[in-house]
Amino acid sequence: MSMDEEKGQGIVPKTPGEKDALDVDSSDKADQGAAGSTSSGILAQLRNLEARMDARFGIESEAIVRKRAEDKKDVPWTEELTMALLWASGTMNTSCFATGFLGWQFGLSLKQTILITIFASILGGIVTGYCATFGAATGLRQMSVSRYSFGWWPNKLIAILNCIQQMGWAAVSCITGGLALTAVSDGHVSLILGIIILAVVALLISFVGLNAILVYERYAWIVFFVIFLIIFGETGKYADSSTPASITGATLSGAVLSLIAIVYGSSAAWCTTASDYYVHYCADVSRTKVFLMTSFGIAIPTSIGMLAGCVVASSLNTQTEWRDTYEHDGLGYLIQDMLYPRGFAKFLLTLLVLSGINTNVISIYSASLSFQQLARPLALIPRFVWTLVSFACILALAVGGREQLNTYLQNFLSLLGYWCTSYAIILLEEHYIFRKGKFENYDLEGWNDPARLPLGIGAATAFGLGVVSWCMGMNQTWFVAPLAKVIGDNGGDVANELTFVVTALGYLPARYLELRILGR
């Protein structure tokens, strides 16, 4: 195997006579197939280009390679704040603001919507916070971490799902940011052009890599925090906290369950990317610190953005002009109309447009890492190429879904929570039950070797049972599951609850049998 091939697989070249801890067996080498024959041509040139850009401009190369202790250095506590601030920038945006309108659309009161938003945001943040604790301890990206539960082959399905999830989430941000840009330009900038502008700016930051992302996201949240405080200040007096829910009984219960699923999904969705942004921290960093800063770094900013949406949505009950603007012209024009004076509103709306960039930066970067882990031949393709592929897919999704924003949000965010619940519970049980909560029980040197990883039969079985649970309990506009259908007139989403129970109970015996029979 040539040095270029090793580098493309994420294997660090060794000097003669030095043992390569990441040597793979002959079956792994066969996986490279056709890619190996091309390694001296275009792919080698692309990898060399990536290495040169890394050396000259700091554009991250070999991103999926495990970060070892000697590759890390202690960071001051001020930099550790990035554990929380990163997510504050990624979640406090117009997408969360738009999600805040869903409770009002479901017929819930303002008080009910606020309680659900806070509770579900914290619950989803806890899921992501737990997954984040693996990054610094292992030095591995999130999709590499899950190989120790899902194995080499089933984990490829997880990587595909993560690619779809990140690109879909970025598309939502492009749409909401594009609506704002259209409004601030008084219609001179079309929604499609607005989507393209947001995606391009995010592409440039993601293109550089982790260092640029951490610096940008560390400070970007400040602008949007101030803007949401202004929204609270100028619209809070119009909030309608006296009007009760327009639905009762089982229909009310169904709406509550469905909103919990949506809000929970928006916070839990980050769990499949969390470790991507912690690999540079020392392995002995407090896992409790990582957990708390990540959990509340997601839950608090998400709640701020969504609660602003809840407050504004409730005001539409009394502010008929605002309601007409929202229903006929969209979210961007509503933001412009409800803030004053108008020139100041346009300025704030211009800044708020940039919030979509924050989410897109994280999503594009993590999607590119997941693409590299789908197959060894794909790992030969440099990260910056996959960044461009992710960018193109996000544009296609955003342009295609731009006309039905709320339906898009409702369906997509609910689906996120389903599989993330299965993913997180499998990682949790594997770590605390089968590996006794100790990272010494992980063969970290074998992260890239199928022969040293579990086969993933137990995880695949439990995940498959979880899929059945989704189909039994989901409540979507395009499909109302049998169990969801019996809850009120509009159904109630119980897929996450079912998925949690079924996956947790299914993984234990399946993984035990896998270890007992196969030994790994």
What's the confidence (pLDDT) of residue 187? Answer: 82
Token digits for 429? 């049980």
Beta bridge partners of 475: 480
Residue type, 401: G
Can you tell me which residue has the tokens 């919030």? Answer: 355
Can you tell me which residue has the tokens 């004076």? Answer: 341
Q: Where are the domains of the chain?
A: 70-438+449-518
Token digits for 270? 């980050």
Task: Report how far Cα 300 is from the mean position of its chain's Cα atoms.
Answer: 16
Token digits for 267? 């916070």
Residue type, 224: F
Is residue 490 exposed (0-12), middle (13-18) or buried (19+ Cβ within 10 Å)?
A: middle
What's the confidence (pLDDT) of residue 414? Answer: 64
Cβ-based neighbour number of residue 262 at 10 Å: 26
Alpha-carbon distance of 147 to 163, in angstroms, equals: 16
Q: Name the residue among 3, 5, 7 with its Cα closest to residue 51.
A: 7
Residue type, 443: D
Beta bridge partners of 480: 475
What's the confidence (pLDDT) of residue 1? Answer: 41
Alpha-carbon distance of 426 to 511, in angstroms, equals: 10
> Each residue's pLDDT tens digit in the chain (520 positions)?
444 443 333 333 343 333 333 333 333 333 333 334 444 578 888 888 888 888 887 788 888 999 998 888 788 887 889 999 999 998 998 889 989 999 999 999 999 999 999 999 999 999 999 999 999 999 999 999 999 999 999 999 999 999 988 888 888 888 888 887 888 888 888 888 988 998 998 999 888 888 888 888 889 999 999 999 999 999 999 999 999 999 999 999 999 999 999 999 999 999 999 999 999 999 999 999 999 999 999 999 999 999 999 999 999 999 999 999 999 988 888 988 999 888 888 888 888 877 778 888 999 999 999 999 998 889 889 999 999 999 999 998 888 877 776 566 656 666 777 999 999 999 999 999 999 999 999 999 999 999 999 999 999 999 999 999 999 999 987 789 999 999 999 999 999 999 999 999 999 999 999 999 998 8
pTM of the model: 0.88
Considering the domain 70-438+449-518 in this protein, what is its CATH number? 1.10.4160.10
DSSP-derived secondary structure letter, 475: B
Is residue 224 exposed (0-12), middle (13-18) or buried (19+ Cβ within 10 Å)?
A: buried
CB-CB contact of 61 with 383 (8 Å):
yes
- Residue 480 sits at φ, ψ, to 5 deg, of -110, 115
Half-sphere exposure of 461 (CA within 13 A, CB side): 15
Residue type, 108: L
DSSP-derived secondary structure letter, 395: H
Cα-only R_g, the chain: 23
Alpha-carbon distance of 145 to 134, in angstroms, equals: 7
Token digits for 58? 């700091």
Is residue 49 exposed (0-12), middle (13-18) or buried (19+ Cβ within 10 Å)?
A: middle
Alpha-carbon distance of 276 to 256, in angstroms, equals: 33
- Residue 285 sits at φ, ψ, to 5 deg, of -60, 145
CA–CA distances in Å: residue 367 to residues 143, 255, 287: 10, 32, 25
Cα-Cα-Cα-Cα torsion 78, 219, 63, 128, nearest 10 degrees, comes to 80
